[in-house]
Amino acid sequence: MKIKTSFFEIDTGEGIALHDLMPSIKDAVARSGIKNGFVTITSQHTTTAIAINENEERLLEDVRTFLLNLIPPGNRYLHNDIALRDCPPDEPENAHSHLAAMLLGSSEVVSLVDQELVLGQYQSVMLYELDGPRKRKVNIQVYGD
């Protein structure tokens, strides 16, 4: 079995922003030369998530609204008490982002058959920015033969 690893960076949007990773994933698969196996996609950050969903504008807005209602940024979170933590004074109050990332997860695994990702018609692997805007790094590993 071969393993090909690549990384890419993405500049994300303000607040909660969703980004379709499919072009970068397909490029990594094509460059790998691997035809059959699986692909792992992993975020390198604690305030982003990777999840499969539909890349449809109204749904993306629903996701933003859902996460903000589920984990309101204005709630009191111990992580946001910067005076009690050993961190830079300009550290953002982003506990809600960490909690949302924990619920969504930091990676996905997708099967690869004949150098095609095995996903449903409307499925895309998405990066969920939960604390943007920022520059984010994503790892893609292609495993197989």
Q: Residue 130 belongs to a domain with what CATH number? A: 2.60.120.460
Structural domain harbouring 140: 2-79+92-144
pLDDT tens digits for range 2-40? 999 999 999 999 999 999 999 999 999 999 999 999 999
Domain count, the chain: 1
pLDDT tens digits for range 32-63? 999 999 999 999 999 999 999 999 999 999 99
**Do 12 and 19 contact (CB within 8 A), yes or no?**
yes
d(CA 78, CA 3): 41
The verdict on residue 86 lying in a domain is no
> Helix or strand or coil: residue 26?
helix
The verdict on residue 133 lying in a domain is yes
The structure's pTM equals 0.94
**Do 144 and 1 contact (CB within 8 A), yes or no?**
yes
